[in-house]
Amino acid sequence: MFRIVVVPNPQVLEHEVWATMGITVNNRLAHEVLDAIVKHPEVYLASVAVGRFNLVIAARFHHIDFINQFVNIKLPAIEGVSYVETFVHNKPLKYHNIQWPI
């Protein structure tokens, strides 16, 4: 019924990079792509989506170099991924019901 989760404070973890990614995939391979993506430990949210993208994921990285490797090497290597748009969170203010000062 309840789940305790540790949520990192982005202001304390200065080198942590959070990002949300919209991914367009071949519809025939959508579930295979999603299965491959959720295996990456950086990914903390993965969802089938309705709208501009077939999938939406959110991930955290320890350094900007790791997000570049994920977006430019790991994701394109998955069969069925045709487009990735990345949104880097430069100042998260609220995560679930946890808020950080502005």
Whole-number Å distance between alpha carbons of 61 and 47: 19
Helix, strand, coil shares of the chain as percentages rounded to 5? 25, 35, 45
* 45 three-class SS: strand
Collect all residues with Cβ–Cβ distance below 8 Å to 45 and sequence separation of at least 6: 56, 57, 58, 59
What is this structure's pTM? 0.79
List, for residues 86-100, the tens digit of each pLDDT value.
Answer: 999 877 677 667 676
List, for residues 2-26, the tens digit of each pLDDT value.
Answer: 766 666 555 555 558 889 999 999 8
The CATH architecture annotation of domain 17-91 reads 2-Layer Sandwich (3.30)
